[in-house]
Amino acid sequence: MKKFAIAAATATALTLTMANAAFAQTTQTTQSPMTLAAGEMDKAAEATSDTWITTKVKSDLITEKGIPGTDIKVETNKGVVSLSSTVALTAAQKTTAVNITKSIKGVMAVSADGLKTQ
């Protein structure tokens, strides 16, 4: 009976030791995804910001009288807004479109090289 008790105690001690090591490894692997998630959150926030900027610029251009806002394509990458069009704009319309875009929060720069002018 003593041999069985010693064997059981030894088995329990080994099991607890191995379980502790396994738990430590699990904790380390669960922390890595959290670190990765923080980087993904930054990317998601950046993408959301770019999407918000694009939407805001587009809506402001569409509602501005005298500008063919529906004909102006808006793309945003890291706060840099690119404007382009398939129809020709006057110089005044181009200037107004650029000024509207620059006035929006989060816009770092505006590229209007793609806007056709008359």
112 Cβ contact partners less than 8 Å away, ≥ 6 residues apart: 83, 94, 97, 98
Residue 37 has pLDDT above 70, yes or no: no
pLDDT bin (cut points 50, 70, 90) of residue 55 is very high
Q: What is the pTM of this model?
A: 0.63
Distance between CA 17 and CA 30 in Å, rounded?
20
Count Cβ neighbours within 10 Å for each residue of 66-103 and write b for 16 or more, e otherwise. ebbbebbebebeeeebbbebeeebeeebbebbbebbee
Token pair belonging to 74: 């808006």
**Coil, helix or strand for 83?**
strand
pLDDT bin (cut points 50, 70, 90) of residue 56 is very high
